[in-house]
Amino acid sequence: MNQAVVKSSLSLPGIKEVYRGKVRDVYHMDNGILIMVATDRISAFDVVLPRGIPYKGQVLNQIAGKFLDATADIVPNWKLGSPDPMVTVGYKAETFPVEMVIRGYLTGHAWREYRDGKRVLCGVTLKEGMRENQKFDKPIITPTTKAHEGHDEDISREEILEKNIIGEVEYKQLEAYTHSLFQRGTEMADKKGLILVDTKYEFGKRNGKICLIDEIHTPDSSRYFYKDTYQELFNKNKTQRQLSKEFVRQWLIENGFQGKTGQQVPEMDDAYVHLVSERYIELYEKITGEDFQKESTENINARLQKNIGDFLQKL
């Protein structure tokens, strides 16, 4: 099995600081440029799991890059280029402290809340009698706070405006962008035989203008069902065939872990790590319609250093 890349180590002139998130290593340059390395780390329930997943970073970075390019006519984004399969370079933006989650179907976190009796999610009233994986009459936006550490928390539109976390004019623009991006992602998924079930978007401001940042429509930020079997499985109350990180969350739940205090992450053996890797590659090929080309993981930091260095010299 190829080695997972769980940490990058770049040494480039102009690096001001390095932020290591759950998945990405972000290098802040002194000229306002960000270098974002998508590592093979994997997180669930806001916890980074002990083993990385080979090729996961490459999958995430390349899918995100394709969708950033395919939606730039809807909203400008932070991307300048992708000098390496695991790297995106772009402009730094002032981040909005809220993630815009949009859901077309009642599944995942929303279903777990609904199943437990909740009928108002992030200020959105959900009708009675719904079933798991049922399509909403129209997509709903269920924002979360953007936590630097620990768990993101559900928050309503009303709370965001009341607390002046984001002003009303800008928040309405974020909602409009979210609906338009989700519509574009839905149309693109449909052409590949998939349903874009739910996803999240992150936005920032650069030079006073709103822009899309981070990733978009990847298996870490989105959930996809297979279109051809959705209705039949829904009618029979069966589990949907899906491409997302949800199967990792379900595996953790089945093994007694939901990120709660005192719980231990179950052991991920080689066979399971390989399975997760193959699922990520499957999603790449389904959503892009292209064969996935596995990049070598040997001398990874030397490769990153060269590719990024060459790219920066041309800016």
H or E element that contains 288: helix 270-288
Residue 294 main-chain phi, psi, to 5 deg? -70, 120
User: How high is the pLDDT of residue 39?
Assistant: 96
User: Among 2.170.130.10, 3.20.20.140, 3.20.20.70, 3.30.200.20, what is the CATH number of 1-93+188-315?
Assistant: 3.30.200.20
Average pLDDT over residues 31-44: 95
Average pLDDT over residues 258-265: 92
Average pLDDT over residues 44-62: 94
Q: Above 70 in pLDDT, residue 150?
A: no
- Beta-carbon contacts of 121 under 8 Å, excluding residues fewer than 6 positions away, are 110, 113, 114, 140, 142, 154
Residue 299 main-chain phi, psi, to 5 deg? 50, 45
User: How high is the pLDDT of residue 315?
Assistant: 86
> 3-state class of 209 per DSSP?
strand
Q: Which of 64-68, 143-147, 258-262 has the lowest mean pLDDT?
A: 143-147
Q: Above 60 in pLDDT, residue 313?
A: yes
User: How high is the pLDDT of residue 149?
Assistant: 57
Phi-psi region of 104 (alpha: psi -120 to 50; beta: other; left: phi over 0): alpha
User: How high is the pLDDT of residue 238?
Assistant: 96
- The pLDDT tens digits of the residues spanning 77-131 come to 999 999 999 999 999 999 999 999 999 999 999 999 999 999 999 999 999 999 9
Give the integer Cα–Cα distance in Å for 83 and 311. Answer: 6
User: How high is the pLDDT of residue 234?
Assistant: 98
- The pLDDT tens digits of the residues spanning 203-255 come to 999 999 999 999 999 988 999 999 999 999 999 999 999 888 888 999 999 99
- Beta-carbon contacts of 148 under 8 Å, excluding residues fewer than 6 positions away, are none
- The pLDDT tens digits of the residues spanning 152-198 come to 799 999 999 999 999 999 999 999 999 999 999 999 999 999 999 99
User: How high is the pLDDT of residue 219?
Assistant: 84
Q: Give the model's confidence band at 298: pLDDT under 50 very low, under 70 low, under 90 confident, else very high.
A: confident
User: How high is the pLDDT of residue 148?
Assistant: 58
Residue 113 main-chain phi, psi, to 5 deg? -65, -45
- The pLDDT tens digits of the residues spanning 268-280 come to 999 999 999 998 9
Mean pLDDT estimate for the chain: 94
- pLDDT > 70 fraction of the chain, expressed in percent and rounded: 98
Give the integer Cα–Cα distance in Å for 122 and 139. Answer: 13
- pTM listed for this prediction: 0.90
